[in-house]
């Protein structure tokens, strides 16, 4: 081993750790499966959901269980969403547009939201691009 092996070994260790943490973060953030493996009979129901514009909500498990509440002052739902690239930060409440609310019984029994983040190029703030929302029990 030469004296130049030390920096190379350190570099490899850093790269390996960064790759490992990136994989963990990527899998933990982007994998969301609303389809309950114990309830496969709901797969067809999930795939049939559409928002008020007729756009499909679900494809292959891109919905997220949601913490949601009814905002009496505004007469609509609010959902707590977390910034996908900052999972340790507290979430932010967003008003759900009426156009994406599904007005049919929720067979899963859990409030769910289908959305994608959009980021402001100036400050990195996140706003949701809504696809669908279905309230949970009592919603």
pLDDT tens digits for 11-38?
Answer: 454 444 544 443 333 333 333 445 666 7
Region 99-123: mean pLDDT is 91
Beta-carbon contacts of 36 under 8 Å, excluding residues fewer than 6 positions away, are 42, 108
Q: Which residues contact 58 (CB under 8 A, 6 or more apart)?
A: 34, 46, 47, 49, 114, 132
Give the per-residue pLDDT at 42.
86
Q: What is the mean pLDDT of residues 44-71?
A: 86
Query: Average pLDDT over the chain, rounded to whole?
Result: 77
Query: What percent of the chain has a predicted confidence (pLDDT) above 90?
Result: 38
């Amino acid at each position: 081993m030469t004296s130049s092996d030390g920096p190379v070994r350190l570099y490899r260790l850093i790269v390996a750790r960064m790759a490992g943490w990136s994989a963990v973060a990527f899998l933990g953030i982007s994998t969301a499966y609303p389809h309950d493996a114990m309830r496969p009979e709901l797969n067809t129901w999930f795939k049939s959901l559409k928002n008020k514009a007729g756009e499909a909500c679900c494809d292959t498990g891109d919905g997220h269980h949601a913490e949601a509440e009814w905002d009496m002052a505004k007469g609509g739902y609010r959902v707590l969403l977390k910034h996908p690239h900052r999972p340790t930060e507290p979430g932010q409440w967003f008003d759900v547009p009426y156009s994406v609310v599904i007005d049919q019984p929720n067979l899963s029994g859990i409030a769910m939201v289908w959305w994608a983040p959009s980021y402001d190029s100036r400050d990195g703030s996140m706003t949701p691009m809504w696809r669908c929302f279905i309230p949970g029990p009592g919603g």
